[in-house]
């Protein structure tokens, strides 16, 4: 039997398969090492790290919603130096691609983070998180302005030779403008989409449930919108697009691949089923075998839009 090829390329980064554990849902990998064979994944993206430690937002910070969840963690983390000294120890042992997510409140912070991580061989790529809806950079997110997106991406590009992925926000009028700005600034890929700004109200107290008032909506509820946005981006840029947003099973992932995503990130599903990512890999492989397709790259962008 001919072996099915699941390998995909994100710039110069080769992944054994297109399934990636999304940032903020998989910790630093250590949290899942006893629950799932992490080495089966195409890549792992760490929780976003910042230059200095962050306490994050006050609780309550998470609430379940119909077909999803709302979170306002606020990028809680121990800072880059703690990450290098402690969290990186587990990542070093992995036999899969290791992508570090970085975040900051100023363009210079992103550059300094990228520079600090650039020479660490155990880091294969950097994802630039300019789209966390729980953090404000002035009045808007970096990812809500093409010029700001360009400036951050350019600064990171100047600081590192590693593959860089820019994580886009869906909370914009035209996401393709933002994607093009990232591409023009030297991004190797974009990932889309991050969570949608949303809120829940407690009718008993008449107050927002989250202490932060708003949070990021993720899960199955956002998949159709995320899928549409990924398709729009694919048509406008010449760099790989990594799709995400409500992917809970292999069928969901295949939809993103058919729409042109080169890879997919699994987020909320990890909370529901820690083995979701591995099961999705197997499901994609079965789909290819059942349809007598030898190479996953043959289905990427293979959507038939003719009626």
pLDDT for 4: 94
Q: Is 1 a residue whose pLDDT tops 80?
A: no
pLDDT, average across residues 263-271: 97
pLDDT for 138: 60
List, for residues 24-44, the tens digit of each pLDDT value: 999 999 999 999 999 999 999
HEC letters along 41-93? CCEEECCCECCCCECCCCCCCEEEECCEEEECCCCCECCHHHHHHHHHHHHHC
Compute the distance between CA of residue 82 and CA of residue 65 in angstroms, rounded to an integer: 34
CA proximity to 13, closest of 126, 125, 120: 125
pLDDT for 39: 97
List, for residues 213-266, the tens digit of each pLDDT value: 999 999 999 999 999 999 999 999 999 999 999 999 999 999 999 999 999 999
CATH number of the domain located at residue range(s) 8-298 in this protein? 3.20.20.70
Bin 98: left if φ > 0, else alpha if -120 < ψ < 50, else beta. beta
Query: Which value, to the nearest 10 degrees, does the dihedral of the CA atoms of residues 270, 274, 280, 281 take?
Result: 120
pLDDT for 2: 63
- Percent composition of the chain: helix, strand, coil (DSSP 3-state, to 5): 35, 20, 45
Compute the distance between CA of residue 254 and CA of residue 288 in angstroms, rounded to an integer: 10
Enumerate the domain spans of the chain: 8-298
List, for residues 43-85, the tens digit of each pLDDT value: 999 999 999 999 999 999 999 999 999 999 999 999 999 999 9
List, for residues 4-16, the tens digit of each pLDDT value: 999 999 999 999 9
Contacts of 225 (CB under 8 A, 6+ apart): 170, 193, 196, 245
Cis ω on the peptide bond leading into residue 118 (within 30° of 0)? no
Q: Is 269 a residue whose pLDDT tops 90?
A: yes
Compute the distance between CA of residue 99 and CA of residue 204 in angstroms, rounded to an integer: 43
Confidence of residue 139 (pLDDT cuts 50, 70, 90): low
pLDDT for 136: 56
Cα 176 to Cα 221, 235, 283, 301, distances in angstroms: 22, 9, 30, 17
Question: Is the distance from CB of 42 to CB of 96 less than 8 angstroms?
Answer: yes
pLDDT for 238: 98
pLDDT for 140: 80
**Mean pLDDT score across all residues of the chain:** 96
Catalytic residue IDs: 132
List, for residues 97-138, the tens digit of each pLDDT value: 999 999 999 999 999 999 999 999 999 999 999 998 766 556
Q: Is 284 a residue whose pLDDT tops 90?
A: yes
pLDDT, average across residues 144-161: 97
CA proximity to 95, closest of 132, 40, 166, 20: 40
What b/e sequence results for 87-126 when a residue is b if at least 16 CB atoms lie within 10 Å of its CB, and e otherwise? bbebbeebebbbbbbbbbbebebbbbbbebbeeeeebbbb
HEC letters along 92-160? HCCCCEEEEEECCCCHHHHHHHHHHHCCCCCCCEEEEECCCCCCCECCECHHHCHHHHHHHHHHHHHHC
List, for residues 199-208, the tens digit of each pLDDT value: 999 999 999 9
Confidence of residue 93 (pLDDT cuts 50, 70, 90): very high
pLDDT for 307: 79
């Amino acid at each position: 039997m001919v072996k099915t090829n699941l390998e995909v390329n994100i710039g110069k980064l080769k992944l054994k398969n297109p399934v990636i554990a999304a940032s903020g849902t998989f910790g630093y990998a250590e949290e899942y090492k006893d629950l799932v064979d992490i080495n089966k994944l195409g890549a792992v993206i760490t929780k976003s790290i910042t230059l200095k430690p962050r306490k994050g937002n006050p609780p309550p910070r998470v609430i379940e919603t119909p077909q999803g969840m709302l979170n306002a963690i606020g990028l809680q983390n121990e800072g880059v130096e703690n990450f290098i000294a402690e969290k990186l120890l587990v990542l070093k042992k992995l036999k899969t691609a290791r992508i570090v997510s970085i975040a900051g409140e100023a363009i210079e912070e992103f550059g300094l983070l990228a520079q600090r991580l650039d020479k660490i061989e155990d880091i294969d790529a950097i994802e630039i998180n300019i789209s966390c809806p729980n953090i404000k950079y002035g009045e808007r997110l970096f990812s809500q302005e093409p010029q700001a997106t360009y400036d951050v991406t350019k600064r990171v590009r100047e600081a590192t030779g590693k593959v860089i992925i820019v994580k886009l926000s869906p909370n914009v009028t035209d996401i393709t403008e933002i994607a093009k700005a990232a591409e023009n600034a030297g991004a190797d890929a974009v990932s889309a989409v991050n969570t949608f700004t949303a809120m829940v109200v407690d009718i008993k107290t008449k107050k927002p449930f989250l202490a932060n008032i708003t949070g990021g909506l993720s899960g199955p509820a956002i998949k159709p919108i995320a899928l549409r946005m990924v398709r729009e981006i694919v048509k406008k840029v010449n760099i790989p697009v990594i799709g995400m947003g409500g992917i809970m099973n292999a069928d969901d992932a295949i939809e993103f691949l058919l729409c042109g995503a080169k890879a997919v990130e699994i987020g909320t599903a990890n909370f529901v089923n820690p083995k979701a990512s591995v099961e999705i890999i197997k499901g994609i492989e079965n789909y290819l075998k059942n349809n007598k397709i030898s190479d996953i790259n043959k289905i990427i962008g293979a959507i038939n839009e003719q009626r």
